[in-house]
Structure 1
Amino acid sequence: MRFSVALASIAGLPALFRRTPAAGQRTLEFFTAKYPDFSACCSRHGLHDLAGIGPVHEAAYIEQLQARLSDPSVKQHLAALRVPFDWLVVGQVMTSNPASSVRGPRHSVRKGKTPVLAAGEARAMLDAIDITTPVGLRDRALIGLMAYTFARVGAAIDMRVEDVYVQGRRSWVRLHEKGGKEHEMPCHHNLDEYLHAYLDAAGRFG
């Protein structure tokens, strides 16, 4: 960029960011093109010098955003503001980042990304399987295993015949988890029925 063009661009910046040539140049490189809303907010409140911006001003701006944006969006705005102020600190335009001590709204995601079937949905899925064939019995046993034990798909597929066994007049299953770990648990009575029906039909039980 030619020097004359740079000066013209800096002159067009809000007063807040052209208080000194160094501040204007640094801001021109990174700041105002991305954050016009914040700079306009500062101007409305009579802040025309970067040195005058403190955490209280950042907190007030974040509070204003909360009135019209969702919590995740406000947190993103705050995180974005910390970046250019760090840039200005590194460039020795400011001595500290006024946004670093400001805390955004609390927001936690309680639901995981993996969808979980409700009991009624799992039952409808199991009941819809055609169990007049060994393949249908196998599918019902696999899906039932995952539904009643919360087993991973890999652990369910890796099961062997001997991983279904009777202990204390009750059927148990042995799951082979990651890292070579084994997890044993008693079967729900429905799962017991599904597993034995498949193994009997396949001629592999007893």
Structure 2
Amino acid sequence: MDASTRKQPITDLVNRQSHSALLLGMVPFPVRQAGEPAARRFVEFFTANIRNPNTRQAYARAVSHFFAWCEARSIALHEVEPMLVAAYIEQHPGSAPSKKQGLAAIRMLFDWLVVGQVLPMNPASSVRGPKHVTKRGKTSVLEADQARQLLDSFDTRSIAGLRDRALIGVMVYSFARVSAVVGMNVGDYFQNGKRWWFRFHEKGGKVHEVPAHTKAQEYLDAYLTAAKIGDQTHTPLFRAITRHRTIGSTRPHRTDVLQMIKRRVKAAGLPASTCCHTFRATGITVFLQNGGTVEKAQQIAGHESPRTTKLYDRTNEAITIGEVDRIII
């Protein structure tokens, strides 16, 4: 960084990172009040330290709420103490997971400020968040016949129908996250021996490869043939549909995919609670119902822990009338 860059105001530095600027908005007043080094270090925490855009957005929102709370009480950056952080977490209106995420964001930011010699200690390091143990996920799950009903409902005479069926098919049959599917290039659908495979770029820069299910392969081949992009290996696999109902050149955002799913499930007469994660949970549940093991489901889904995979397992959720009738009094 040259001398002229070092003299630029903090807003100019943020504006050079346009996406980050949208997420950050402006540096909170308690941080600006602490001086240029603190403000610069604050911006660097998001633009240089956090690479995942979803994490960056969530953490930016969490620390913004915290510093707004501090500003309302005239608490300067150097005046933040463990009991103040604890008081903020205590009055936080969100759920236990939201409080835990907020505390994690605050703790990581202050760690970054300490390492940058802005503060002598991290006031959040000793603060404990609320206990929260989840043994069952809340994501809605479709029955196998409902998933089949949805996949059969697409109008395959249109490029939009072929794209949407292929996109949902990849999520169902490979347990993939929507962000990983949307982030695929054409070359991430590749042949290895006699089988076709999917390559997903997951959180944290991890690359995860999964054999393509025959149905997912069928849907994707039909889409690629109609879109005529099979040889464009370094371009987006799933693309936005233009207003002229033709295939575009840019990736759809995951929120666009969610809106598409909401429209599709409504038209198919399926539960309105269906979302992007529904297909990940549905695939895992059906896999386990048909004799698959949690260990193999974990491998396909790319989970670090089998406990995470079990959150998507709904095979034992139903309590039958027969079980209730065992209560003989």
Query: TM-score, normalization: structure 1?
Result: 0.49
Larger relative contact order (Cα-Cα within 8 Å, sequence gap ≥ 6) = 2
- Answer with 1 or 2: which has the greater Rg: 1
